[in-house]
Amino acid sequence: QVPKKSMHLEKISHIEEIVNDFVTKKISAEIALDRLEETKKIVTYPLFVTVLAFCGAGFFRTLMFGGNFSDALASFLVGICLGIIIQTLNSKNIIGFLVTVCGGFTVGFTSILLLRYGIGVQLDKIIVGSLIAIAPGVPFAHAVNDILNGEQISGNIRAMEALTNGIALASGS
């Protein structure tokens, strides 16, 4: 299994602080190692922050793709549902493929539901603006990076993962 690449800036900042304290002799090696172990336990962002990120991404990307304010508002509401579903399923350690399928279904279903109740005008703009938040762009970029760095096996595995996520997203929506 190829480990997933991720970036958590709060952890990076915490590690940098530990290294700086160790280099300036403010802490001993044992304390530095203990604090590094504590870094592993730092949790990701709270649910409301993640949901707000999905809402904002949907709202602004819908406008970017040519939707009007009503479509952007619908994408904002879809982002609420999408963020809650994604975070809930990820916290239950559901496999990524099913999380992506459920996310795609949530976007499609909620978009159609909102359109039926008069929120939004262009269904395609709402769906595209909302789906782009879970599109496999970062895994694909990591795949290209690995391949360009000569890591053919991991690059191809990551490319297949991105392709599989794209298929899951399309089938769910």
Residue 34 pLDDT > 60: yes
Q: How confident is the model at residue 131 (pLDDT cuts 50, 70, 90)?
A: very high
pTM of this structure: 0.75
Q: Name the nearest CA neighbour of 83 among 109, 107, 111.
A: 107
Sign of CA dihedral 99, 101, 107, 111: negative
Read off the DSSP letter of residue 78. H
Q: Name the nearest CA neighbour of 62 among 144, 151, 143, 124.
A: 124
Residues in the chain: 173
Q: Name the nearest CA neighbour of 36 among 49, 21, 55.
A: 21
